[in-house]
Amino acid sequence: MQTPAPCGGLKKSPSQPNSPRKTPLPGSGIAPACFVPVKAQIMSTTFSDDVRQKLNFIFGRRSIRVYRPGPIPEEWVRILLEAAMAAPSAAAKDPWRFVVIRRPSTLHAVAEALPHGGFLREAVLGIVVCGDLEAAHDRQLSYLLQDCAAAAENLLLAAHILGLGACWLGIHPREDRIRRISALLELPRTVLPVAAVAVGWPGEDKPPRTRFEAAYVHFEKW
């Protein structure tokens, strides 16, 4: 297995021919995941290089919708799921459940069920993040959704660390999507599909960024 690089991406391993190549940004000499986004330049005077690299790993996570062919090892899928289940959960109820999809015919069917999910057809892997309402704290839908959203974000971040590309597709609260995905995956009655995550080797590059807006932040009260 390859070794994660300190700021996201992977150190190149000759045993993984399908691993992505991290090309430096023009004139920077550093990999994309280490690049300091414009709106985060304040960090350059506040934090050490090590801290900035770790923070920029978050800024470098982007929604990737174009994929190159190549298998994803089972061990890596396990890591993605372990990362997802490391997320916080209300009262530690862990209501999240996951359906891992590799079969192209099923990926195509899920893509058909999601209006903006066409790129799932090119993904190597799909993971549908679900929640069991019976397992959620106080059996509350809101707690279930918060827990599953945290798990999905952890999954996306882990994919970025591994040098994979991933994109979140919403299922809940669209009733037609919930109904079609539930039927397709034969989900139990109490299990709700929340989101689908497409995963594959990135076929596009996007620069790190933040959408921070000071006007969206209030202190002490509104």
What's the pLDDT tens digit per position in 154-204?
999 999 999 999 999 999 999 999 999 999 999 999 999 999 999 999 999
Please list the alpha-helical segments (H only) found in 60-174: 74-84, 104-113, 141-161
155 in the same domain as 184? yes
Number of domains in the chain: 2
pLDDT in tens, 86-142: 999 999 999 999 999 999 999 999 999 999 999 999 999 999 999 999 999 999 999
Residue 22 has a pLDDT of 39
Residue 48 has a pLDDT of 87
Q: Tokens 């061990």 belong to which residue?
A: 75
- Between the CA of residue 115 and those of 118, 119, 150, 171, what are the distances in Å? 8, 11, 23, 10
47 in the same domain as 99? no
133 in the same domain as 52? no
90 in the same domain as 110? yes
Residue 207 belongs to some domain of the structure = no
pLDDT in tens, 41-73: 545 567 888 888 888 889 999 999 999 999 999
Residue 192 belongs to some domain of the structure = yes
Q: Tokens 């900035």 belong to which residue?
A: 52
Cα–Cα dist 31/21, whole Å: 10
168 in the same domain as 71? yes
Residue 80 has a pLDDT of 98
Q: 3-class DSSP state for residue 10?
A: strand
79 in the same domain as 40? no
101 in the same domain as 40? no
Burial class (CB in 10 A: 0-12, 13-18, 19+), 109: middle
Higher pLDDT, 175 or 21: 175
Burial class (CB in 10 A: 0-12, 13-18, 19+), 133: middle
CATH number at residue 148: 3.40.109.10
188 in the same domain as 122? yes
Helix then strand then coil, in percent of the chain rounded to 5, is 40, 15, 45
Residue 23 has a pLDDT of 34
180 in the same domain as 122? yes
Which residues span the domain enclosing 55?
17-60
Residue 208 belongs to some domain of the structure = no
Contact between 84 and 158 under an 8 Å Cβ cutoff? The reply is yes
49 in the same domain as 76? no
User: Is the pLDDT confidence value at 27 over 90?
Assistant: no
Contacts for 183 with CB less than 8 Å, ≥ 6 apart: none
Residue 144 belongs to some domain of the structure = yes
147 in the same domain as 50? no
Residue 143 belongs to some domain of the structure = yes
Cα–Cα dist 52/58, whole Å: 10
185 in the same domain as 136? yes
